[in-house]
Chains A and B, each alone.
Chain A
Amino acid sequence: MTTTAAPRVPPILTVARYLLLDRVTYLALPWLWAAFAFGLDVVILQLVPDDHSAQRWVGGLLAAFAVVFVLGIQTVARALPFGLALGVSRRTYFLGASALAAGLAGCFGTVVTIGQLVERGTGGWGIRMAYFRAPGVLDGAWWQTWLTASAAFVLVFAYGMWYGLVHRRAGLIGTVVFGAAQGVLLTLLAAVVTWTHNWLRLGHLLATSPIAAILAGLAALLLAGGLVTVRRLQI
């Protein structure tokens, strides 16, 4: 009888390898949707009147971020129970999934950066289309683009995981309450800023702070929230 001993690798990396068994979903799906959105944007730009501006902004790249958000949900909705059945702890699973998110985000950030370089080099694909650029967010130096895009991918993946975990723990009603609570929190923050007449200072702070750092900070908060949520998750 042949017994195949699994190589001794850290459990967190094993979780990442486990998730990457579904390579099509984790590696190809976001960019298949992004490619579809790219084609759609090209068609739309051909149809709408040209305003002769320097760049013609489109939002198709958001498709990749939306798919990564769904990947975050899927990672805890379906892959987590099987992972636990195979003998891994919740904490290790979550850290492994987070490590995968960071790795994917770095790769996807590279795709965005290269896409942006090509886009700039070809005059916006010959039609002045700004697909890999976004005003004020993804329009700086290549390294800023990489940092910002990578942080944004981690952010949406972590947000998806947290939503998925809340849904597993509290069901649909709990998920709705979770979403509503975020709305209430943002409203309260807006009210506080208004009452203290700090909108200008907040605007200045956001405009002068590196956006990648803000996104990374938010991603860290979401990951911490997910880690707290997963600790009492029952499968």
Chain B
Amino acid sequence: MTPAIAVAGLGLRYPGRGGHQALSEVSFEIPSPSIVGLLGRNGAGKTTLLRILTGQGFASTGSVRVFGSPPLERDAVLRRMVLIREDQTYPDLKIEQALAAAALFHPNWDAALAATLLDAYELPVRRSIKKLSRGMRAALGIVLGLAAHAEVTLLDEPVAGLDAVVRDMFYQHLLADYTAHPRCIVLSTHLIDEVADLLERVLVIDHGRLVIDALTDDLRGNAVTVTGRTADVDRFVADRATLSRRALGARTTVVMAGRLDQRDRQLAEHLHLDVDYLTLQQLAMHAVDSAAGATLIPTGAS
């Protein structure tokens, strides 16, 4: 089956001497339907990648295909996509006019969903977009991105500027809408743990390189934090790949790659060790170390 998005060897170096290498050898495929998290720190290359996926930016090397066709300057492909960015530039329109614009371009525009979301986020439809607060602009981006029902929905930092209550509402709306209309949704964010339960797949990008591409279920539980007396911890993690180590007095905390089996659990209990699985955010933080990234990706995961 043709993947919704297929990226091969994508690279971007800005022109000029010493030009910044924004993306390097990025390759992945995303099937549809799926909700994918594009995770990484600020400046990692997430927005650059999303811009190239929608033909808003140009790659130096590599290729992008959306449903088997390159999207660059192809209306037939582009109309199946929507990208709402955190720094989205809007014309001098009112909210209702921006929604009307989206309805013009997107054949699957869901006016009822848009009305529901506008009500939920308390957006005044007759207000000019330039008079909206940062949070309201973010909420408008969410309404546009979700109600478009585009087959490839790309949301770049959609919750930036939103308070915790509204963020939680967004996650609920996203999940409900995805359940009702399964499609390919890519969510770029650095609030990783907040979205962890939504994501089926995770792409972690760092300094323009893709360091993790794995199913969330495969990734989750793939590293643990072991805390206890230094000698006991050392015994427990012997011959295991460790990602980091921190000592405080007689106690040591080690982050260890790999899953625990029954025997490991019995040993940990016997040694009175505290064992916790890493959250997705902690996994992503460790993955930016290239050596650790390789050990975190489960064998056979894709």
Contact = CB atoms under 8 A, between A and B. Distances in A.
Are A and B bound to each other?
A: yes
B106 A6 contact: yes
B97 A86 contact: no
B105 A1 contact: no
A234 B88 CA distance: 13
Contact of A234 (B57, B107, B180): B57
A6 B105 contact: yes
A89 interface: yes
Interface stretch (A14-22, A54-62, A109-117, A119-127): A14-22
A22 B91 contact: yes
A170 to B, nearest CB: 13
A87 interface: yes
A21 B93 CA distance: 8
User: How many interface residues does chain A have, given as a range?
Assistant: 20 to 34
B120 interface: no
A89 to B, nearest CB: 4
A86 B150 CA distance: 9
Given A4-B111, A89-B73, A84 B54 contact: yes
A17 to B, nearest CB: 6
A21 B97 contact: yes
A78 B56 contact: no
Given A6-B109, A234-B58, A85 B104 contact: no
Contacts of A88: 75, 78-79, 105
B124 to A, nearest CB: 17
In the A-B complex, list the 3 residue pairs whose CB atoms are closest, starting with the nearest: A81-B89, A79-B91, A2-B112
Given A4-B111, A22-B91, A85-B83, 16 more contacts: A1-B112, A2-B111, A3-B112, A5-B108, A8-B107, A17-B104, A74-B92, A82-B88, A85-B84, A85-B88, A86-B105, A87-B79, A87-B105, A89-B73, A89-B75, A234-B57
